[in-house]
Each structure stands twice: as structure tokens, then as C-alpha cells.
């Protein structure tokens, strides 16, 4: 082929791939555009402060669902964070050949396990023994989803801490645990927070694992051993119901949820700006 | 020994550290406790993964013993009569996921090649950012959009047009409901595109620069360089990225449940409503009344787990083969 022809091919492939990139981004604009269009008009102060109204009454809010979601995210972080960070430190620092490889592999594979499967697991190990749906079971399911994400990001972040810092600590005669807890982990803090925010953004929107753990609730939370409301569950329930006012609230709830998720993702990016090269 | 190896960071630092200056005997109580905690969390993660398999296997044992292989190949799902055949769900999961891959793969690979190789450098970060945001949109939000925007659009425009032009194919026959296999495949495609794109992009970025330089030095154009030097080198990683997308599609629950129609039938037409393994779990788990019913549903969950673990395991190995485990581990 002539040089001009080859250049033409190269340019047209560039144009095609550019078109693909545009098409890939399009749904984001379509979805967020629609959410804003439908959601903004449906959001008011009541929406954040009130309980859902009974069927047939217009108005009401999702305050209980927002609180419920926050409670379960808190539980998930409590359950998943220590394990995730310690595991990440292990992955970054271990010189063992096999075990880190296995753990990394298991964590990445767990990351791909459908979230509804974690829901079933939480059902069998928490809901069945307790004989009731509960906030605890929901938090447990979300915590399981959080662990592999925190584990892998903590690993990457601990790896980025210059070894000179660690050596300085060890050279001063500090025991390893102090070097880890007082020097290495604080130095990697911003990155670890990023990982947590990414994980929180992911679990905040999870619906499937909560369907048969947290179950949902139309009232304020009544203790960790009781069924509890969650924002994604509420959106789902409203979306598939046949009432216009509920559809309106589903859009509003989705707008609130996606705003929270985007803010968490954005915070995650800002926390490590300039620290991670070429992501 | 794993417990002996917590001092250095990577291979380069092994040289920098004095060789085992602190002996095992002089290590304090604090260190031993700390190491114990770290190893405990490592084993806890591994135990959770194993427990997942065991718990699901235990709960589904009744169904496995009662139905055996029949569970996988019969399509009669009648909880009242105690008959459980999961074929419609397996079929629905496979068809919707393959349809999603068919749409998503060319788009994501194109976008990844654009972002990693061909785009001007100022374009790359904002587009990569938008794609990351797309990956962060919760499933239930996709479902909501699917019900109220995608489904009416399919019903009023796409399906009539497809029926007019390609209606002679059995794939595009039947009444245009909007909801159904086509809607599920489309929404799944939209959802897995960001995963495939971002992992493929990382794979391409992990291809060494010397590969490109060699091709460019021989006078290849940008695209020829990409095709000869980059895509071939990263091929296995790209296949891994596609498999990761497949894994997502197989297990995706909420959005699919909201648009697929939830009817347990094996129908050839993409216009017909279907049902997937994940959505039958979402819909029926809390309503399951008998022990055998619950057990059958858990068996579907177990199937889903085994399949996605296999797909994801293979995908990870392929992605790692290009960039090593430290890269491509996210998303």
C-alpha cells in the first residue's frame, strides 16, 4: 500500500476509535441529564426530612432510607476496613512467594463475584441464625464487598511509601509494628482514604445484597437487629411500583444517590491528586 | 515463612536493608502481636472466600440431591408443585450477557485504543474520568433509567424498525413490548463498557514503550504500530478484560431485573421477556416458602458463584500476564 494510503488508514482508524470513545461516554451524559431533569423538580426539603407516606398519599420523603444507608455503610466500613488495610500492608510488604499471590488472586476474584451472591452468603450466616432480617446482616454483606477493594488499594498505596522512611524508623530502633502503624500507614493515609472512598461509592449504590439481608423498612431504624431501610432499596421499590408519585420520588432518590456516589468518587480522586502517576 | 517477611517493600529494597539485623529471638511482643493480627486478617479473607463456597454448597445441598442434573436442563419452574428446573434462567443469563458482549466489546476496545494510543494527550484524562464515573453509577439507577427511558425508546422506535427490516429472522419477531432480552442486553452493554474500557486501557498502557518505538522506527504509522506492536503484545490481557466484563454481565442483578420482564421461558426472539439467574434470586428469595424452594434458589446462587469465579480467575491470570499483578488489579 502507498504511504498516503497507509496514512489514510491510520487516520480513519483514529477517527473510528474516537467515535467509539464518544459513544462510550454518551450514556453517562444521557443518564445524568435525565436524572437532573426528572429529579430536581421532585426534590424538596420534605424529601430529606420526612418518612415515606402511606400508599395513595402524595409527598413524604426518604429520610429513613438515607439514615439507614449511612448506618449500613458505617457497619460495612467497621467490618471491612481493619481487615482490608492490614491485608494490604501484608501484600505490600511480604516477601513470601506464594501466600501474597494467592491472597491477591482471591481478592481480585472476590471483587468480581456478583454482589447478590454476597447477599445469599449473609443470609445463610447472619439472617438464618438470627432468624430475622437486620441492619447487621446488610452491613455484613456490604463489608464483604468492601474488603477486596480496600485491600488492593491499600496495597498499592503502601507500596508508594518510600522505603527510606521505613528504614529510618527501623534504624532508630523502633519495632516493626510501630514503624507500620506510626510511619508507613500515616504516610499512605491519603491513598488509603481514596481506596475507602472508592469502596464506599461502590457499596452505597448496592441494592442486590440488601434485598434479603436488610429487607427495607418504611419507618425509622429500630436497632441493628431489625430490618432497616436503604436508599437503593427504596429507589427500587418506588421504580417498580405503579404510582406516579413514587416514580417521581424514585428519580429524586436516584439523583441524591448518584450525587453522593459522584462526590465520594471525586473526593477519592482529589485526595490522591499528584500522587498516583498516569492512572 | 510468611511471618518472616515483613521488613522490605520490593526486590530493590531487599538489597538496601541489612540482612536480618534484628533476629527473631529479639523481636518484641508488639511485633509478634502485630504480625499475628496481619496474618489473621490474611487468613480471614481467605476463609471468607472459602466460607462463601461452603455456605452456599451446604444450603443448596437439598436441591442438588433432589434434582441432580435435572436442575440444569429442565425448564419447568413451579414452586407450588415443588418442581425446579433452572434452564430458563441459565439461558437468559447467557443470552443477555452474550448480547451485551457483542455490543460492548467493539466499543470498549475502540475507546481503550483511542485513550491509550491514538488520542491527543489532553483528551485522555477527562475522558478516562468520565468513563470512571460511568463505572460508578449504581445498578439501580441504570435500571430506573432503563425502565423509563430505554424501554419506551425500544418499544416505540427500535423494535418496530428492527421488525420491519430484519423481521424475517426469528431473533426479531413477536410483539414489541420494550421490556425483554434486548433491553437487558443493551443495559448490560452500557454497564460493562466502562469496565472493559478501563481494564483494556491499563493493559495497553502496560505494554512497554520499546515495542512501539521499534515499530515506529521501522516507519509504521500510528495505527500500524498499535496493531502490530501493541495489540498483539497485549492480546491476552485484552481477552482478560473482556472476560472481566463478561463476569460483571453474568452477575448483574438490579438493572436486568428491572427491564428483562421476568418470565421464566426459553424464547428465541430477543423481543420476548426472559429471566436471569440473578434476577430470579432478587425476585423470589424473600418469598420462598418451602425449604426446598430456598435450597433451589441458593443452588442458582452457587452456580452463579462458580461460573463467575471461573470467568474472573481466568480473566485475572490473562490480565496479569501482560502487566503483572500490581497493574490491572482494579476495576
What are the pLDDT digits (tens) for B55-110?
Answer: 999 999 999 999 999 999 999 999 989 899 999 999 999 999 999 999 999 999 99
pLDDT tens profile B122-147: 999 999 999 989 999 999 999 999 99
Q: Is A212 on the interface with B (CB under 8 A)?
A: yes
CA distance B233 to B204: 9
Q: What is the pLDDT of residue B299?
A: 96
Q: Where are the alpha helices (DSSP H) in B158-221?
A: 159-166, 181-206, 209-217
DSSP category for residue B170: G
Query: Tell me, what DSSP letter sits at residue A53?
Result: P
- Residue keyed to cell 437487629: A225
Q: Which pLDDT does position A272 carry in this prediction? A: 67
Taking an 8 Å cut-off on Cβ atoms, the answer to whether A166 and B9 are in contact is yes
Chain B residue numbers with beta carbons less than 8 Å from the beta carbon of A274 are none
d(CA A252, CA B208): 47
Q: Do A92 and B9 touch (CB under 8 A)?
A: yes
Question: H or E segment at B77?
Answer: strand B77-78
> What average pLDDT does the structure give for chain A?
91
- The domain ranges of chain B are 2-67, 70-323
Percent of all residues in chain A with a pLDDT value above 70, rounded to a whole number: 97
pLDDT-derived band at B12 (thresholds 50, 70, 90) equals: very low
CATH architecture of B70-323: Orthogonal Bundle (1.10)
Provide the pLDDT confidence category of residue A278 given band limits of 50, 70 and 90. very low
φ/ψ (deg, to 5) at A219: -125, 175
Residue A107, chain B, CB below 8 Å: the answer is: yes
pLDDT tens, residue by residue, B227-285: 999 999 999 999 999 999 999 999 999 999 999 999 998 999 999 999 999 999 999 99
Q: How do B77-78 and B83-84 pair as beta strands?
A: antiparallel
CB contact (8 A) between residue A207 and residue B254: yes
pLDDT band at A37 (very low <50, low <70, confident <90, very high): very high
Residues 6+ apart with CB under 8 A from B145: A30, A31, A34, A35
Task: Pick the most confident of A119-128, A192-201, A263-272.
Answer: A119-128
- Which B-chain residues 255-284 have CB contacts (< 8 A) with chain A? 258, 278, 281-282
Task: Check: CB of residue A209 under 8 Å from CB of residue A145.
Answer: yes
pLDDT band at A57 (very low <50, low <70, confident <90, very high): confident
Q: Does B175 touch chain A (CB under 8 A)?
A: no
Amino acid at each position: 500500500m502507498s504511504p498516503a494510503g497507509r496514512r489514510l488508514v491510520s487516520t480513519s482508524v483514529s477517527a473510528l476509535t474516537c467515535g467509539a470513545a464518544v459513544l462510550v461516554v454518551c450514556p453517562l451524559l444521557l443518564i445524568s441529564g435525565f436524572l437532573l431533569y426528572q429529579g430536581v423538580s421532585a426534590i424538596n426539603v420534605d424529601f430529606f426530612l420526612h418518612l415515606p407516606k402511606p400508599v395513595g398519599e402524595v409527598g413524604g420523603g426518604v429520610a429513613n432510607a438515607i439514615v439507614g444507608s449511612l448506618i449500613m455503610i458505617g457497619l460495612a466500613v467497621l467490618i471491612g476496613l481493619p481487615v482490608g488495610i492490614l491485608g494490604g500492608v501484608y501484600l505490600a510488604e511480604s516477601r513470601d512467594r506464594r501466600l501474597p499471590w494467592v491472597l491477591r488472586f482471591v481478592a481480585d476474584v472476590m471483587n468480581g463475584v456478583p454482589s447478590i451472591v454476597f447477599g445469599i452468603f449473609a443470609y445463610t450466616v447472619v439472617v438464618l441464625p438470627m432468624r430475622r432480617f437486620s441492619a447487621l446482616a446488610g452491613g455484613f454483606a456490604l463489608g464483604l464487598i468492601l474488603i477486596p477493594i480496600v485491600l488492593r488499594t491499600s496495597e498499592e498505596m503502601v507500596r508508594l511509601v518510600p522505603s527510606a522512611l521505613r528504614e529510618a524508623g527501623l534504624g532508630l530502633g523502633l519495632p516493626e509494628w510501630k514503624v507500620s502503624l506510626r510511619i508507613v500507614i500515616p504516610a499512605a493515609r491519603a491513598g488509603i482514604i481514596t481506596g475507602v472512598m472508592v469502596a464506599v461509592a461502590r457499596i452505597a449504590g448496592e441494592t442486590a445484597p440488601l434485598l434479603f439481608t436488610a429487607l427495607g423498612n418504611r419507618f425509622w431504624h429500630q436497632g441493628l437487629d431489625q430490618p432497616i431501610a436503604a436508599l437503593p432499596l427504596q429507589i427500587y421499590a418506588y421504580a417498580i411500583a405503579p404510582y406516579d408519585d413514587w416514580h417521581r420520588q424514585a428519580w429524586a432518590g436516584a439523583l441524591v444517590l448518584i450525587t453522593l456516589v459522584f462526590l465520594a468518587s471525586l473526593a477519592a480522586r482529589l485526595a490522591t491528586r499528584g500522587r498516583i502517576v498516569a492512572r | 515463612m510468611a511471618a518472616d517477611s515483613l521488613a522490605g517493600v520490593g526486590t530493590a529494597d531487599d538489597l538496601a536493608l541489612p540482612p536480618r539485623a534484628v533476629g527473631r529471638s529479639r523481636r518484641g511482643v508488639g511485633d509478634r502481636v502485630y504480625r499475628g493480627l496481619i496474618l489473621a486478617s490474611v487468613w480471614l479473607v481467605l476463609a471468607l472466600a472459602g466460607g462463601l463456597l461452603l455456605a452456599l454448597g451446604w444450603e443448596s445441598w437439598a436441591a442438588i440431591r433432589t434434582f441432580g442434573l435435572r436442575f440444569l436442563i429442565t425448564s419447568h419452574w413451579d414452586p407450588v408443585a415443588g418442581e425446579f428446573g433452572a434452564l430458563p434462567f441459565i439461558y437468559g443469563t447467557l443470552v443477555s450477557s452474550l448480547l451485551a458482549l457483542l455490543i460492548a466489546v467493539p466499543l470498549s476496545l475502540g475507546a481503550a485504543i483511542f485513550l491509550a494510543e491514538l488520542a491527543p494527550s489532553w483528551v485522555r484524562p477527562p475522558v478516562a474520568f468520565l468513563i470512571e464515573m460511568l463505572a460508578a453509577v449504581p445498578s439501580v439507577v441504570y435500571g430506573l433509567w432503563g425502565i423509563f427511558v430505554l424501554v419506551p425508546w425500544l418499544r416505540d422506535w427500535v423494535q418496530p424498525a428492527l421488525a420491519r427490516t430484519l423481521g424475517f429472522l426469528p431473533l426479531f419477531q413477536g410483539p414489541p413490548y420494550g421490556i425483554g432480552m434486548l433491553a437487558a442486553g443493551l443495559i448490560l452493554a452500557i454497564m460493562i463498557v466502562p469496565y472493559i474500557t478501563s481494564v483494556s486501557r491499563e493493559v495497553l498502557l502496560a505494554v512497554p514503550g520499546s515495542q512501539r518505538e521499534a515499530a515506529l522506527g521501522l516507519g509504521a504509522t500510528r495505527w500500524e504500530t498499535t496493531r502490530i506492536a501493541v495489540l498483539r503484545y497485549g492480546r491476552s490481557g485484552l481477552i482478560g478484560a473482556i472476560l472481566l466484563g463478561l463476569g460483571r454481565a453474568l452477575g448483574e442483578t438490579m438493572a436486568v431485573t428491572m427491564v428483562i420482564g421476568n418470565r421464566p421461558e426459553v424464547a428465541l426472539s430477543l423481543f420476548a421477556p426472559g429471566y436471569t439467574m440473578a434476577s430470579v434470586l432478587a425476585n423470589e428469595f424473600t418469598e420462598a416458602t418451602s425449604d426446598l424452594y430456598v435450597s433451589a434458589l441458593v443452588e442458582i446462587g452457587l452456580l452463579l458463584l462458580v461460573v463467575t469465579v471461573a470467568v474472573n480467575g481466568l480473566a485475572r491470570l490473562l490480565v496479569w500476564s501482560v502487566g503483572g499483578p500490581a497493574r490491572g488489579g482494579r476495576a
